[in-house]
Amino acid sequence: MKRCSIGSSIGSIAIFIFLYLPMLSVAIFSFNASKMGLKWGGFSTEWYGRLVQNETILNAAWNTLVLAVCSTFISTIIGTMLAIGMFRFPWSRRAMGKLNLLLHLPVVTPDIIFAVALVIAFSVIRYLTGLFELGMASMIVGHVTFQISFVALAVKGRLELIGHDVEEAACDLYAGYWRVLTKVLLPMLMPGIVAGAMLAFTLSLDDFVISFFTAGPKSGTLPLFIYASVKRGITPEIHALSTIIMVATICTVALMQKLTPDAKH
């Protein structure tokens, strides 16, 4: 029996065109020589050159990278600890239920409510301590908060897969707890930790809403910059910037698929 009709195939190709056509047209028009409007004025790489000279864009790119690297680093540590603490220790059923609820809360909360919650939390902290103006620090804290759960869930999968046997063997051979943790458990968890970290990194790069609410005047990221410029009209420089980001995304996704061959979805 045929499992995919011709209609489905044609429809699917049309859907892929639908998904890629806008991105492709941005890439094409980033090489357009004419400055105003969308009339084709010949091939040119001028806009890519302009990008490198634009201080605001370079600053935003730097911010995006700093934000993604710092938040991924912190959330990978905290998330891995959380997964080990939750799934390698005895918990009563009730406590486990509550912990599970908290663990899944950042995953199911809509972006905008998450952002509103963070804004309220930050303003309370600022009111109580006088510290913590909105800026890079608040953005990193915000991103870490939503990344923790994704890292913990990725590590959880690995924890369940490897079982307890090797740790028990290490204990039988008189390894202390610290040694079991650093020499046995963490190396075995590494694929899960790497997958979680990559997920956290891409989530941070991909985020707009949380950055939009928690950014300070000087800590704007690339998506925030693009959003603000679109309000003033479309320019070829934005085409070039978007194209670079899209190419970077494609490379990251390809890398992720290479590094985690079992993560099909």
Partner 1 sequence: MQDESTERAKEAQPIILYNGEMVRPSIIRARQATFISPGILAIITLLALPCISLFAVAFMTRGQYGEILFEPTFGNIRRLFGFGFFGWSADNLLILWRSVVVAFVTTALCIALSYPLAFFLAARPAKTRLLWLTVLLIPFWTNLVIRTYAWLLVFDSDMPFARIMAWLGLMEPGTSAYPSQFAVYVGMVSVFLPFVALPIYTAVEKLDWSIVEAAVDLYSNKWRVFRHAILPQTLPGLSVGITLTFVPAMGMFVVPDMLGGARYMLIGNLIQQQFGTSRDWPFGAALSLVLMILTLGALMATGGRRKKGRA
Residue 213 CB, nearest distance to partner 1 (Å)? 7
Residue 230 CB, nearest distance to partner 1 (Å)? 6
**The two three-digit tokens of residue 217, written as one number:** 């005047």
> How many angstroms separate the CA atoms of 7 and 68, rounded?
42
| 249: nearest Cα among 197, 200, 195, 205 | 205
> How many angstroms separate the CA atoms of 204 and 60, rounded?
14
Amino acid identity, position 208: F
Closer residue to partner 1 (CB): 191 or 238 = 238
Residue 164 CB, nearest distance to partner 1 (Å)? 6
Closer residue to partner 1 (CB): 35 or 164 = 164
> How many angstroms separate the CA atoms of 41 and 22, rounded?
20
Residue 173 CB, nearest distance to partner 1 (Å)? 10
Q: Do 198 and 151 touch, CB atoms closer than 8 A?
A: no
Closer residue to partner 1 (CB): 110 or 130 = 110
43 forms beta bridges with 32
Count of Cβ atoms closer than 10 Å to residue 220 Cβ: 20
32 forms beta bridges with 43
CA dist list (Å): 209 to 106, 193, 215 = 14, 26, 10
Helix H or strand E encompassing 89: none
Closer residue to partner 1 (CB): 32 or 191 = 32
Residue 33 CB, nearest distance to partner 1 (Å)? 15
Residue 265 CB, nearest distance to partner 1 (Å)? 5
Closer residue to partner 1 (CB): 191 or 243 = 243
Closer residue to partner 1 (CB): 115 or 191 = 115
**The two three-digit tokens of residue 21, written as one number:** 């056509």
